[in-house]
Amino acid sequence: MTNQTVEKEVINMFSRFKKSPTNSEELFAPVNGDVVEITEVPDVVFSQKMMGDGFGIIPKDGRVLSPVEGKIVQIFPTKHALGIETKSGLELLIHIGLETVTLKGEGYDVIVSEGQSVKVGDPLVNVDLQLLEEHSLEIITPVVITNFADKVKRLHVTTEGTVSAGQAIAIVELN
């Protein structure tokens, strides 16, 4: 283990004990996988933050859980993406894979419905990642705050590397 790796682990361990700002919201990992910066998502709409800021996760399995407490405000007809609004008014987009609209919903089993309230860790969607890969589609899952400019002072992704679904991953400081 390198000194840099040990240092990151120590910082990550102690960051769990820090209090988040009172005017903030915590985001949790919606899938098991590897966290990447939004700028590393191989789609300019996400990497250039055209839809807002956030992060990406390369999923290890196809179970997608709610990263926040809120309400399902949109499920795309092609089932590849959904929107959640939190109690504080953050609007999150979970986009499961890239260019997956071409599948027209095939491989996606949406468990929730529009208007439904969800808690952190509630199942949202099951996706057949193998099907996506068979169609040469990216499985990376961007999670974007679409009203970032209006609602957010700062996004701090607190966790790097491999995460488990439901694990705290970021703190959003609200305006």
Q: Where are the domains of the chain?
A: 19-174
Tokens of 12: 């990550």
pLDDT, tens digit only, all 175 positions of the chain = 555 554 555 455 444 444 444 699 999 999 999 999 999 999 999 999 999 999 999 999 999 999 999 999 999 999 999 999 999 999 999 999 999 999 999 999 999 999 999 999 999 999 999 999 999 999 999 999 999 999 999 999 999 999 999 999 999 999 9
Q: Token pair for residue 69?
A: 């407490």
From 80, 95, 135, 156, the catalytic residue = 95
Q: What's this model's pTM, rounded to 2 decimal places?
A: 0.86
Of residues 171, 167, 175, the one with CA closest to residue 35: 167
pLDDT at 19: 45
How many C-beta neighbours within 10 Å does residue 172 have?
27
**What class is the 19-174 domain?**
mainly beta
pLDDT number for residue 4? 53
Nearest-CA neighbor of 140 among 79, 85, 83, 80?
80
Q: What is the pLDDT of residue 113?
A: 98
Asked about 95 being catalytic, the answer comes back as yes
Give SS3 for 106.
Answer: coil
